[in-house]
Each structure stands twice: as structure tokens, then as C-alpha cells.
Structure 1
Amino acid sequence: MSDGQTTIAIETRNAVKRYAGNIAVDQVSLQVKRGEFVSLLGPSGCGKTTLLRLLGGLEQPDEGTVLLSGKDVSGIPAYGRNSNMIFQQLALFPHMDVYNNIAYGLKVRKVAKDEIRRRVHEILELVQLGDYSRRSVSQLSGGQAQRVAIARALINKPEVLLLDEPLSALDMQLRLDMQRELKRIQREFGGTFIFVTHDQSEAMNMSDRIGVMRGGKLLQYATPDEIYERPADRFVAKFIGDTNLLQVKVLGTEQDLVSVECFGSTFKIRQEKGSSPIPSGSLRPLSIRYEYIRLGEAASHSANRLEGRVIESVYGGASIRYTLDIGGRFQLQASSLYQRGDIRYSVGDTLQIGFNPEDGLLLNDDSPGNGEAAL
């Protein structure tokens, strides 16, 4: 096996899964490196949980293969693979204390009692529950129960840990705390974690790489910053963070600047290095993140400028989100960092709006999406 292959913990190659004739996973090829934290992200029904179940052996692919450490495990059920899975429902044994919940897998494997004791206490320290070994699981908080479930899943040292939205039932603050805790555990354990979520910020906060899925297809698989700054299409652009999407007409390209027209205004957009030339006359979606829109005095130095009127202002503490009407033809959303004493615009204010060529991204789609401003 080559060095390149040994760095891959688990992968799928052209995996397909059908249910009653409907395709849940559609020709998905995915490689996860050893020690990576990968999130599968997408709306309900996109196929992310089905893909996770294929990786864990709870489902078998109708086409394609699943490889664990380079070995084809496509036909091997979950119990025959060195991987483990944590579900939304943690399914801790209510009649057992914390120690025996965690030790259960070792006892099934008939590991010696001294070895069980050593490994359970070691994993309890990892999840910071060293004093909880004899606590009843009914006495645990939601976050403590999560950590017991993680400890139980890691006790047999799986090559890959698969997590199916395990934080979805927690309240917001506890969920944020558990995101940090889960990432810490993964880093200290040194394992490979694959995490399913529909929460964009959760995936961005925790992941080395993110796979965005829709309709059973893997649309993009990249680092969080690559997906945010260079989304593959309009769906990824809208699903990861907040962005304005404007349908524009390409007028021409000079050096690395593309001239585009939208509602009678002409803008200059920086073209990605190495990208194919965009034919003049073609229609493309232009993505501009809310935070890249400059307002008032800050807009005066921007290469692309226009004028708008504030029709909504939403205070968010550290930032303010504005909805801006552009001559009654279309609307832009802008998000500005805010500190006490900064200029704050009110509904009805008319102001200058600007963005620079590198702040916009021309996407590859060539037809308007739902709710998208079109020419």
C-alpha cells in the first residue's frame, strides 16, 4: 500500500444507495484522512445520514465501494468493522452506572478486569469525568451524558468515530460548549471523526473539511474557508453563511477583471486565477457576502459604487444587518461590525454602497435560482 493510501482512514468510491427506487446517495466519492474532523452538512433529506450509515456498515451500498484503511468493507456489517457510531439518541444503559456503561464493550470482548479498569479510567480522564465513574446515568446532565456516550464509543479505539447529529437535542449554550469539548477530545484522542449536522456554524467551527450535500450528491468537499470564500455553486454559497446573489450579464474580461452588468450598473469582479474565461453575454450569479458590502464613508474608496436606501435595520449586538433598496429595482443585505459610538443608519437614510472586485464571486451556475434577483 502506498503512503498516500495509508493516510486515508475511510473512503467511498462512487457509492450509490437506493430506497424504493429513490436515490438517497448518488455516486459519492469521499476520502477522509487519518486524524481529520470532517462534517457532512446539508438540509434534511440530502443523504448525509445515509452516507454516514454506509461508512459505518449499517447500510450496504447498491453500487460502489467503502474502504476502511484501504480494505474493501462494502459487504461487512457494522459489528465486523473497527468503527463506531453515536446517534442522536445516546441509548445509554439506564440500569448501569457510568463506569459499566463505558466498560460494556470491553467486557463483551472479554478483556481482563485490570485492563478494563485502566482503560475506563483513562477514557474518563479524557472526557473530564474522572470523578463520575459510579454516578448513575439518570443523575447526569445533558453534556455529561454526551461525554459518557463519547467515552463508550472510543473505549475500543475505533479507527473512525461516526456521529449522527449527537448535539441536536442540547440547548444553544450547552451545544456551543460541547462543540469545543468534542473538538478537544478528538484532538487529544488523535482519532478520525465524521460528524453529520444541518447546522452551518457548527460545521464551520469544528471541521478540518466539510462535505456539503444536496439531493444525494456531494456538491463540494473542502476546508471551511475554501467553501466559504469559493463555493462551488449558488446552493453552497447560500447554505454556508449569508450572501447576496445577483444575476448579472458578463460584458467582457480585461486582464483578471470581469465587467458585469446588473440593472444598468456596471461592476468589476476579480476572476479566480486559473479559471476558464467567461464568454461575453453569458448570465452568471454574482455572490457578495453581507460583510463585504461597505456603507457610507467606507464605500467611497470602493471600486464598485452605487446608492441605496435603508429599508430595514436589525441590531445584533456586535453587528447590524441592513436591508438596502437599490432604486426600487433590487435589494442588498449588508452586515456591519458595530461598536458603541459608531455611525448607525436608520430606516429611510440614503447612503453610498460599495464593494471591491475581490469581494464578489462569479459562480458557475448559468440560470437564476429561487428568490434570486434576475436581470
Structure 2
Amino acid sequence: MSNEHQSVSIEAKHVTKIYGGRAAVDQVTLQVNKGEFVSLLGPSGCGKTTLLRMLGGLEQPDDGIILLGGQDVTGVPAYGRNSNMIFQQLALFPHMDVFNNIAYGLKVKKTPKAEIKRQVHEMLELVQLGEYSRRAVSQLSGGQAQRVAIARALINKPEVLLLDEPLSALDMQLRLDMQRELKRIQREFGGTFIFVTHDQSEAMNMSDRIGVMRAGRLLQYATPDEIYERPADSFVAKFIGDTNLLDVSVVEPDSNGIRVSILGNSLLAGSNEEPASFRPGAKHSLSIRYEYIRLGEDAAHCANQLQGRVIESVYGGASIRYVIETLDHLRIQASVPHQRGGRRYSPGESVQLGFDPDDALLLEDSGTGAAS
């Protein structure tokens, strides 16, 4: 077997699933390496759970193939694959204690009792529940129940663990705690985890790579920083983090980037593509992250400068978010780091704003179709 196949845990090639004449998953190709934590991210109905269920064998693709550990498992049901899945509803056995919930998979395989005991206690230590083996499921907190479900799923050492929004029912603080706990477990276990979520901060916090989906298609599959700093299109830019999306027209390539026009203003932008590939007169979206906007004296050295008036100022502790309206009635939002005693702008105050070409990304408009 090649080194490439040895390092790949699970792979989908041109996978499609049709429901009622509509492609819920549309020609998706995805490769996950051993030991990676990958998140599938997108709005409700984008196809991420359907893709996850196909990877796990709970659904079968209408087209394309799925490889697990280098072997073609297309058409093989879930029970015939070396993978496991955790759902939002954890489905722990209420009549069994923690030990027997975790041991269930080993008992089905008729593993010797001494080996069951050893492996269950190993899993309890991994999920930091060593003192809870005889605790009733009904006595567990939400986070403890999550960890029992993870231990039960990992006891048979699956090639891939698939997780379908398992944290979405938890309150915010517990959810943040479980994100850290899940990443720790994945790292210590050394396995491959694929995690479905519609929460972009959750995906950014946990993932080695993120697949952003919309309307059944995989728009971008990359590291969190690549997706944040170099989004594939305007939908990805808006879905991951906060950004200003401005409708601009291309004027011409420039030695420092691409010159664009908006409401009579000439601006310089960067792009993921070669500047020469942008046709003069073509309409595009210009993405500028809120935190890339500079204000006042900080704007003086920026290549792009606009004059405006503060419409709104929202204090957020570490930062202040401003809504600024330019003289041409263009509304731009900025998020500026706040220091005690630092400069603050009030609504109605005039202010200069600026940004550099590298911080203004010219993107394809992904359209306005529903992400169903």
C-alpha cells in the first residue's frame, strides 16, 4: 500500500446523494488523514449530516465511492465498517451503569471479562471519569454523559469517530469546556474525528481542517487560518467570522494589487487569484474583516483611506465595534482593540478609516440561493 493510503483515514470521492430529485450532497470529494480533527461546517440543510452519515455507512451514496483505511466500503452498512458515530441524542442505556455502557461493544464481541475490565478502565481514565464506573446514567451531568458516550464509541478503537452536533444541546460554558475536552481526548487517543457543526467558532476552536458546505457542495476544505484569511468566496467569508462585503467593480490590475471602484471611490484590493485574471468592469465582492479596518492616526499609513462619521459604537471589553458611514453613504464596520484610557470615538464624530490591499480580498460572489 502506498504511503498516501497509509496516511489517509477516510476518503469520499465525488459522492452524491439525491433526495426527491434534489442533490443533498453534490459531487463532494474529501480526504481526512489519520489523527486529524476535521469539522464539516455549514447552515442547516447544507448536506453536512448527510455526508457524515454516508461516511459512517448509515446512508449509501447514489454516486461516488467511500474509502476507509484505503479499502472501498461503498455499500457496506455501518455495522460492517470500523467506524463509530455519536449523535446529538447520546442514546446511553439508562438501565446500565457507566461501566456497562462503555463495555457494551466489547461484550457483543465476546471479549474476555478481564480484558473488558482493563479496556473500560483505560477508557474511563482517558475521559477522566475513573471514579464513575458504577454511577447510574441518570446521575450524570450533561458533560459527564458526553464523555461516557465518547468512551463507549472509542472502546472498539474505530478507524474514524463521526460526531453529529453532539454538543449543541449543552449550555454555552459547558459547551466550551467540552470543546476543549473533546480535543484533548482526540489528541490523547490519537484517532481521526469528523465533527459536524453549524457553529463557526466551534469549528475554528477544534479543527485541524474545516470543510465549509452550502447547498450540498463543499465550497472550501482547508485549515482554519486559510479559511479565515483566504476564503474561497463571499459565502465562506461571511460564514466564518465577521466581514464587510462590498459590491465593487474591477478597474484594472495594479502593480500593488487590483484596482476596484465603489461609489466613485478607487481602492486597491488583494485576491486569491492572479490579478490579470480579473476582467475590467466585472462585479465582485470585496471582503474586509472588521479587525482589519484602521481608524484615525492608525489609518494614515494605509493605502486605502476613506472619510466617515461614526454611526454606532459598541463596547465589547477587549474591543470596540464601530459602524461608520462614509461620505458616499457606504457603511463599514470596524472592530478596534480597546485599552484602558485609549482613544474612543463617539456617534456623530468624524473619523478617517483605512485598510491595506492585503487586508481587502476580492472574491467571487457565491450568489444568494438558499443553503438547503
Question: Does TM-score exceed 0.5, indicating one fold?
Answer: yes
1:47 Cα deviation from its structure 2 partner: 0.3
Q: Which moved more, 1:201-210 or 1:306-315?
A: 306-315
The letter for the 1-side match of 2:99 is: Y
3-state DSSP of counterpart to 2:277: coil
Distance in 1, Cα, partners of 2:76 & 2:144: 33
Distance in 2, Cα, partners of 1:39 & 1:49: 11
1:255 Cα deviation from its structure 2 partner: 2.6
Contact map agreement 1:321 1:335 (CA 8 A) in 2: yes
Give the match for residue 22 of structure 2: 22
Give the match for residue 216 of structure 2: 216
The letter for the 2-side match of 1:34 is: K
Give the match for residue 57 of structure 1: 57
Contact map agreement 1:285 1:368 (CA 8 A) in 2: no
1:249 Cα deviation from its structure 2 partner: 1.5
Residue 342 (structure 1) aligned with residue 342 (structure 2): yes
1:30 Cα deviation from its structure 2 partner: 0.6
Deviations 1:167-202 (A, max 9, x none): 000010110000000000000000000000000000
Distance in 2, Cα, partners of 1:12 & 1:273: 27
1:274 Cα deviation from its structure 2 partner: 5.0
Give the alignment of 1:42-53 within 5 angstroms: 42-53=42-53
User: Structure 1 regions of 5+ residues with no counterpart?
Assistant: 371-375
Residue 161 (structure 1) aligned with residue 161 (structure 2): yes
1:275 Cα deviation from its structure 2 partner: 6.0
Q: 1:78 to 1:275 in 2, by over 3 A?
A: farther
Give the match for residue 119 of structure 1: 119
Residue 2 (structure 1) aligned with residue 6 (structure 2): no
Give the match for residue 296 of structure 2: 296
Distance in 1, Cα, partners of 2:367 & 2:113: 64
Contact map agreement 1:8 1:69 (CA 8 A) in 2: yes
Residue 228 (structure 1) aligned with residue 231 (structure 2): no
Give the match for residue 138 of structure 2: 138
Deviations 1:247-299 (A, max 9, x none): 11111113342111111111122344756531222221110000000011111
Contact map agreement 2:56 2:162 (CA 8 A) in 1: yes
Contact map agreement 2:271 2:363 (CA 8 A) in 1: no
The letter for the 1-side match of 2:221 is: Y
3-state DSSP of counterpart to 2:308: strand
3-state DSSP of counterpart to 1:76: coil
Q: Which moved more, 1:184-193 or 1:327-336?
A: 327-336
The letter for the 2-side match of 1:182 is: L
Residue 311 (structure 1) aligned with residue 298 (structure 2): no
3-state DSSP of counterpart to 1:25: strand
Q: Which moved more, 1:255-264 or 1:132-141?
A: 255-264
Give the alignment of 1:136-285 within 5 angstroms: 136-272=136-272, 274=274, 277-285=277-285
Q: 1:276 to 1:92 in 2, by over 3 A?
A: farther
1:203 Cα deviation from its structure 2 partner: 0.2
Q: 1:116 to 1:70 in 2, by over 3 A?
A: same
1:26 Cα deviation from its structure 2 partner: 0.6
3-state DSSP of counterpart to 1:104: helix
1:111 Cα deviation from its structure 2 partner: 0.1
1:13 Cα deviation from its structure 2 partner: 0.8
Give the match for residue 97 of structure 1: 97
| RMSD of aligned alpha carbons | 1.4
The letter for the 1-side match of 2:213 is: M
Identity of aligned residues (%): 71
3-state DSSP of counterpart to 1:193: strand
Task: Give the TM-score normalised by the residue count of structure 1.
Answer: 0.96
1:19 Cα deviation from its structure 2 partner: 1.5
Distance in 2, Cα, partners of 1:226 & 1:306: 28
Task: Give the TM-score normalised by the residue count of structure 2.
Answer: 0.97
Distance in 1, Cα, partners of 2:300 & 2:290: 18
The letter for the 2-side match of 1:312 is: E
1:23 Cα deviation from its structure 2 partner: 1.4
Give the alignment of 1:356-367 within 5 angstroms: 356-365=356-365
Distance in 2, Cα, partners of 1:249 & 1:290: 21
Contact map agreement 2:256 2:357 (CA 8 A) in 1: no
1:44 Cα deviation from its structure 2 partner: 0.2
Contact map agreement 1:247 1:368 (CA 8 A) in 2: no
Contact map agreement 2:263 2:328 (CA 8 A) in 1: no
3-state DSSP of counterpart to 1:306: strand
3-state DSSP of counterpart to 1:309: strand
Q: Deviation above 4 Å: which 4+ runs of structure 1? A: 271-276, 367-370
3-state DSSP of counterpart to 1:170: coil
Q: 1:5 to 1:368 in 2, by over 3 A?
A: closer
Q: Which moved more, 1:311-320 or 1:144-153?
A: 311-320
1:225 Cα deviation from its structure 2 partner: 0.6
Q: 1:275 to 1:122 in 2, by over 3 A?
A: farther
Deviations 1:6-46 (A, max 9, x none): 11100111111112222111111110000000000000000
3-state DSSP of counterpart to 1:323: strand
Contact map agreement 1:256 1:271 (CA 8 A) in 2: no
The letter for the 1-side match of 2:114 is: D
3-state DSSP of counterpart to 1:236: helix
The letter for the 1-side match of 2:89 is: Q
Distance in 2, Cα, partners of 1:357 & 1:369: 26
Distance in 2, Cα, partners of 1:41 & 1:274: 28
Distance in 2, Cα, partners of 1:368 & 1:51: 23
Give the total of aligned pairs.
369
Give the match for residue 41 of structure 2: 41
Distance in 2, Cα, partners of 1:206 & 1:44: 20
Deviations 1:284-331 (A, max 9, x none): 111000000001111111111111111111111111111111125220
